[in-house]
Amino acid sequence: MAQRVFRKLFKTQSKSSLAVAKTFPSAFDRILLFDAEEKITRGREKINCKCCYFHSGVQRKGPYYDSEQGVGIGNAKESTLTSLRDDERDESFIEDSKEYDDIDQGLDQDDGEVDKDIFVSKPTEDHENMDDSDEHFEMLIGKYLTKVGEQSDNGSIVVISHHDAEEIRSCLAFLESRARRQRSSRDEVDRSFQDAHISEKLLNLLIRAKPSHETIIGEEPKDRFVIVQDFHRVLNIWKFSTKGLKKYFLQHRAEEMTDIKDHYKKMLQYQRRIACRCLYVSERTESILHEMKRLSLEGYSYLRPTQYTYETVLGSWSLSSRELSFMLRGEGKAAGILQKVSPRNTLNNDHPELANNPWDDPLILERYKLLDPAKKADELLEHLFTLEELDSAEFKVSPWAIERTLSSWVHVKIRPRRFTQITSKPQVGIVDEDEVDLEEQEEFHVPARAEELMWRLFELSQSDTEVVRPPSNGIFRSVISSWSHSNHPNGHHNAERILIKMGELYDLGKLTSMPTPDIFNAVLGSWARRSQSMPLDAPARCVAILKHMEQIADSNTTLDKDHEQVSEIDQLWKDFYVDEKAYHIVFGAFKSALHSKALHTSDIAFDVAYQVDDLLQYLTHRCSQGKEEATPSGEIYAIVAKCYRRAIELLSSEISKDDDVLRESGVGFIGVHHQGTENHLLSALTRLNLLLNEMEFGHGIHIPDLSINVYLEVLKAWANATVIPDSEREALKIFQRAKMIGHPTLVPGAEMYDVTISALLRSDSSKNAHDALELLKEQERLHLEGNPSFKPSIKIYRSMLAAFKDRPDAMSLLLNQMTLLYESNVFDDLRDKNGSTTLGFNEILELWTAVEDAESDAASWGESILLRVANAVYTSNSRCQDSTKILRTSNFNTVIKTWLEAGKLHRAESLLEEMERLSHHHLLHDIKPDHLSFHLLIRKVIEDDLLHAEVHAETLLQRMRACGKSPNHLTYQLILDSIVKSSRGQTNSIFTAEKILKNIESASAETARHLRPSTKLSNIVLQGWAQSKDGRKGLKAQSLLGWMISEYQNGNSIIKPNSSSYNSVMKACIKSSKYLRPQQKRQNFEIILKIFKELKRSQNARPGVISYRMMLTACQLLLPEGPERQLHAKEIFDDCCLMGLTDEIVYFIVLDICDENTLRKIVGQDVKSWAELPVEWKRNLTQ
């Protein structure tokens, strides 16, 4: 009653409303709400909005509005928020779906704002013309933020008056107004997040503040000032904080990024930041929703969440789903270009000023997987459906909410993996989902859920009680695209099923929009993506759909010409047409089929080639009938040529393999290529030549669209047809044909030169070799004239050198040309490092060294080039100002290695000294010797002067330390290994190695890198003792093993002896047997037995097969024949069987040393071979 009286008086005069508030205190807390409604009414008149929302226990009119009927969902009574016009929302949704279908064209192409219809509504009030200035509200905000600080510091409740509450509410209104403004800079985008953060603090102040008792005389104290509208204002501020994110993070990307790698790095950083902020907004809006739920459960029922609250949070998660999906796909694309993507926690490395912002915290990205935001939106939608069932008067799920949830699911475009074929089902049959890995079920749910929501929208449009438009073409297309991009094995069938159903509904008049060619193209794309798993059936289905589209379009032409009575259905489809994109999708399906694993035989490949050729002839026929959209492009001809080329390659390879088999069997004279096979191959090659004619002359129907790729594919086909006589000459003709046309788009590139030269060099003909040399000279000339793309590859020079291996003069000429070509752009090459496929510095050295006795010349040339560039640092040559980026230590290391291979140790040492000298220059400090520089010298120095190995090793170690390179374990490994391998059993050398090993720790104690002897290093010396000629090497090896155990017990954890350590000691004792007397042999056997027992007791190692072989061999070589040998052999073999390590060698050693009586006891009388031994005795053998 109080509210009805208050409502009536409120419309007459504000003073009366105050009087009623005093009379009815329970209604006073609604003053500000009704006041806001009056302002909204005025604001709505200004923006002429047709539909509205409301909150606080009142049903809200849905955002989906039928403009023709002029009505919406439900009967609206009151309002606080308004929505976008439907035409704006539909256009936004269609753009979203198109953007996601075009994702393969590159990183996010949308340079505009995030979304004009971000969540739910337009502004509720017109605050743009507020009387108070921004400075006034900034002062008010600062005043109440101080109170927030007091509240958090004291942990107590802050008491405020009604006037304070009104001022706080006006601050929220101001922040909301500013959040809706257009962003003119990135700083304003950042400020909007600061405003949202501040607004939430002010909201918390309203929630937790207590009213003062002096506010109104005679009024009872209230518990809360906050109302639902306050929560909705903060939700709006967070919602609009994402406005302009993409625009101001991505709009200047073209100017900022010139290098492709820099482009992907920046784009990935922007995508991560946008996703990070959107997810943070979703978290904050969800926390506000939970706060409203908490308060309503505490007894403040008027604060319970409304439909608007739920749908705003739902919209934020929908946006997060889109941006997270963009980011994850961006990471995948960046990884393909950059090879290694920076971790997410490096997001703020280039922007430290943003590191303290909670909405820029990269940890947010780690909390969410691809499907999580869509699941959140879906949960909120299902909750809304539940609320609608419980209270349909207040809650009614709007089509907008369903659209946004559907949008969040279709944004989840999982990159399609190679679709594996389930062998138990036919290739084109429907695959049972139960046979698919359970881990993929969640991915399969994505398009299915999107489709379910789409049909819910359709059911709403067919309801008699609601006036809702059916789902738009953009929605249908996005769901079809979702099935197309999913990993579902039946995604293509489901996409086509939706298209068929859509057509049926349109024919029945239940859909108002005709399925557009764009939707048909999406279905074509779903089949085309399956071409790799179905190389024959998927392209064939694409052709069938394409012809069906043409049939519909052709009937339209008939309608235009025929004025007779036509059917109603034909009239519905009269605007349908086929665009060029459809043809390119179908031919792309054939191109994708070439990468199929099933395409492993020439028969299947030729079937694909014949199919695509038939389609080309069909296009030509339609073009002759005046269908301009069917005009074959140059790329279409290239795809046809590529299919034939692939089939020719496979057939030639099969013939060559059969020839090789016959040749290896000694019956190569028989031959395998009968007349039919050769005719098949020749007919395919002839068809390719005719294909060139058709492209060049356009059948006399259309203007020729020439493509150099067609010539390249035909050239490759002839080059690979090795079984056809003179195929290389035909390849040369194709190359010359492309050059002679003189068309600006027909410029043979480096690949065409490489293919032609390689084909000519396959034969032993001197004419072919001469023609290949002339082509190479031409290619070199083009490169020297300033065409970097014509740089000859290293493969071509290898082939040329192999062809002229019997002509030293020609080889010398080639090498000189090669070096001249390189020296012409040495600076650019060293700077760019184009890779091993191009003619680079390291590759030239490799070619030089491939020539007999040319290592010295190669090293000399390489050293002269490097020193030439280094000396250029001291000149004013502008190209050399960045020589620190040109010269690399790796280039010097390559020359050092080449000098060592040439046997010129002194030249290698001289170059190392030159590196040390040059590195002192401030522009060349990056070329100082590294570990590899010294490691290359270590082995050669020690091998040349083993007697003074310790001195040389110490000298190199000191030089390393002087260059700032502390010796590491690899350094000592090379030293010890070089000494041991060069010792040839000399005792003094092994003593030197052991001395260096034991001095490692003391030698590195003064350096920053503290090294300690390791197991690997110790085992090298133990193996050295095992190979030495010293008669007492067994005792010395045992002593070194004891030192290892002592070091390990004293805290050196990396020197823990392993099985190899114990085996090396046993090996040393056994190998010294030929130098020992019987008493010494027994002493060695006692050592081996002791070592073996220690090995069995050790917690760090255990005996292996080698250990048991050693023990049995020790019995054979160190013990005299007799009962003692038999007893020990039996005990060792029994233990070996117990451990399950009895291999064939162990069995044969036992057969050799045991007598018949002992053998019967240990293996049994019936065992005749190792295979008959019990399986348990061999259970632990590794394969």
For 276-328, give the DSSP string. Answer: HHHHHHHHHHHHHHHHHHHHHHTT-GGGS--HHHHHHHHHHHHHHHHHHHHHH
Buried b vs exposed e over 974-986: b needs ≥16 C-beta within 10 Å?
Answer: bbbbbbbbbbeeb
pLDDT of residue 34: 35
User: 1173 with 1144: CB under 8 angstroms?
Assistant: no
- Give yes or no for residue 77 having a pLDDT over 50: no
Distance in angstroms (rounded) separating the CA atoms of residues 173 and 166: 10
Confidence of residue 829 (pLDDT cuts 50, 70, 90): low
pLDDT of residue 687: 92
**CB proximity list for 404: less than 8 A, separation 6 or greater:** 119, 311, 314, 315, 318, 377
Distance in angstroms (rounded) separating the CA atoms of residues 871 and 918: 9
Collapsed DSSP state (helix, strand, coil) of residue 52: strand
User: 292 with 55: CB under 8 angstroms?
Assistant: no
pLDDT of residue 557: 54
Tell me the range of 305-319, 669-683, 1083-1097 where mean pLDDT is highest: 305-319
Question: Which residues, listed in sequence order, are joined to residue 53 by a DSSP beta bridge?
Answer: 81
pLDDT of residue 384: 92
Q: Give me the mean pLDDT over the 502-531 stretch.
A: 90
Distance in angstroms (rounded) separating the CA atoms of residues 826 and 831: 8
pLDDT of residue 445: 85
For 858-911, the pLDDT digits (tens) are 788 778 777 777 776 555 444 444 444 556 788 788 888 888 888 888 888 888
User: 401 with 314: CB under 8 angstroms?
Assistant: yes
97, amino acid identity: S
State how beta strands 210-211 and 52-53 pair.
Answer: unpaired
Confidence of residue 587 (pLDDT cuts 50, 70, 90): very high
Tell me the range of 139-153, 284-298, 659-673 where mean pLDDT is highest: 284-298
The full length of the chain comes to 1183
1137, amino acid identity: C
Distance in angstroms (rounded) separating the CA atoms of residues 90 and 400: 10
State how beta strands 210-211 and 159-160 pair.
Answer: parallel
1030, amino acid identity: D
Q: Which two tokens stand for residue 684?
A: 């395919």
Q: What percent of the chain has pLDDT over 90?
A: 17
Least confident of 519-523, 559-563, 1142-1146, 1167-1171: 559-563
- More confident site: 948 or 562: 948
User: 1112 with 1132: CB under 8 angstroms?
Assistant: yes
Buried b vs exposed e over 174-204: b needs ≥16 C-beta within 10 Å?
Answer: bbbbbbbeebeeeebbbebbebbbbbbbbbb
How far, in Å, are 873, 937, 1063 from residue 912 at the CA level? 19, 9, 40
Least confident of 647-661, 822-836, 926-940, 993-1007: 822-836
pLDDT of residue 810: 72
- Give yes or no for residue 731 having a pLDDT over 60: yes
pLDDT of residue 885: 52
- Give yes or no for residue 480 having a pLDDT over 80: yes
Distance in angstroms (rounded) separating the CA atoms of residues 547 and 531: 18
For 1068-1124, the pLDDT digits (tens) are 888 877 667 888 888 888 889 998 988 888 887 889 999 999 999 999 888 888 888
Confidence of residue 216 (pLDDT cuts 50, 70, 90): very low
User: 605 with 645: CB under 8 angstroms?
Assistant: no
Q: Which two tokens stand for residue 754?
A: 């490489």
User: 121 with 83: CB under 8 angstroms?
Assistant: yes
- More confident site: 68 or 1025: 1025
For 109-133, the pLDDT digits (tens) are 333 333 333 333 333 444 444 444 6
Distance in angstroms (rounded) separating the CA atoms of residues 587 and 618: 13
- Give yes or no for residue 214 having a pLDDT over 90: no
Q: What percent of the chain has pLDDT over 70?
A: 73
Residue with tokens 């690979």: 720
Residue with tokens 């001022």: 167
- More confident site: 384 or 782: 384
Distance in angstroms (rounded) separating the CA atoms of residues 753 and 115: 50
Collapsed DSSP state (helix, strand, coil) of residue 81: strand
Collapsed DSSP state (helix, strand, coil) of residue 53: strand
pLDDT of residue 662: 67
Nearest Cα to Cα of residue 488 among 556, 566, 559, 433: 433
List phi, psi (to 5°) of 122: -85, 180
Tell me the range of 20-24, 176-180, 345-349, 902-906 where mean pLDDT is highest: 176-180
- Give yes or no for residue 179 having a pLDDT over 60: yes
pLDDT of residue 231: 93
Question: Which residues, listed in sequence order, are joined to residue 412 by a DSSP beta bridge?
Answer: none
pLDDT of residue 571: 63
446, amino acid identity: V
Crossing angle, helix 841-850 and helix 889-901, to 10 degrees?
10
pLDDT of residue 869: 73
- More confident site: 1051 or 110: 1051
Q: Which two tokens stand for residue 1149?
A: 């050693």
- More confident site: 242 or 12: 242
pLDDT of residue 872: 67
**DSSP track, 795-834:** HHHHHHHHHTTT-HHHHHHHHHHHHHHHHTTHHHHHHH--
For 193-203, the pLDDT digits (tens) are 889 999 998 88
**DSSP track, 146-161:** HHHHHHHHH-SPPEE-
Tell me the range of 602-611, 701-710, 953-962, 1079-1088 where mean pLDDT is highest: 602-611
697, amino acid identity: F
For 738-782, the pLDDT digits (tens) are 888 777 777 888 889 889 988 888 887 888 888 888 888 888 888
Distance in angstroms (rounded) separating the CA atoms of residues 1118 and 1108: 15
Distance in angstroms (rounded) separating the CA atoms of residues 484 and 757: 43
Q: Give me the mean pLDDT over the 793-820 stretch.
A: 73
- Alpha carbon 317 to its chain's center: 24
Distance in angstroms (rounded) separating the CA atoms of residues 497 and 479: 12
Q: Give the CA-trace dihedral at 717, 723, 726, 730, to 10 degrees.
A: -10
Least confident of 138-152, 227-241, 1014-1028: 138-152
Least confident of 209-223, 468-482, 491-505, 856-870: 209-223
Distance in angstroms (rounded) separating the CA atoms of residues 290 and 241: 20
- Give the CA angle between residues 1088, 1094, 1097 to the nearest 5°: 145
Confidence of residue 562 (pLDDT cuts 50, 70, 90): very low
Distance in angstroms (rounded) separating the CA atoms of residues 1057 and 1016: 9
The sheet carrying 81-83 orders its strands as 52-53, 81-83, 121-122
Confidence of residue 1028 (pLDDT cuts 50, 70, 90): confident
Tell me the range of 150-159, 224-233, 761-770 where mean pLDDT is highest: 224-233
Distance in angstroms (rounded) separating the CA atoms of residues 1043 and 1055: 10
Residue 605 CB-density burial (10 A; 0-12 exposed, 13-18 middle, 19+ buried): buried
Nearest Cα to Cα of residue 631 among 621, 644, 642, 641: 621
How big is the chain by its Cα radius of gyration, in Å?
Answer: 41
Provide the 8-state DSSP code for 496: H
Tally helices (H) and strands (E) across the chain: 51, 5
Q: Give the CA-trace dihedral at 1048, 1052, 1056, 1057, to 10 degrees.
A: -60
List phi, psi (to 5°) of 25: -60, -30
Q: Give me the mean pLDDT over the 1126-1143 stretch.
A: 90
Nearest Cα to Cα of residue 513 among 550, 475, 459, 551: 475
409, amino acid identity: W
Residue with tokens 């010298």: 937
Distance in angstroms (rounded) separating the CA atoms of residues 819 and 821: 5
pLDDT of residue 613: 93
- Give yes or no for residue 915 having a pLDDT over 90: no
Nearest Cα to Cα of residue 1012 among 1021, 1003, 1023, 1025: 1003
Residue with tokens 């110490």: 954
Least confident of 69-73, 866-870, 1038-1042: 69-73
The total of other beta-carbon atoms located within 10 Å of residue 144's CB is 21
Q: Which two tokens stand for residue 919?
A: 């590195």
- Give yes or no for residue 232 having a pLDDT over 90: yes
- Give yes or no for residue 97 having a pLDDT over 90: no
**CB proximity list for 642: less than 8 A, separation 6 or greater:** 591, 594, 709, 713
Distance in angstroms (rounded) separating the CA atoms of residues 788 and 776: 15
User: 849 with 886: CB under 8 angstroms?
Assistant: no
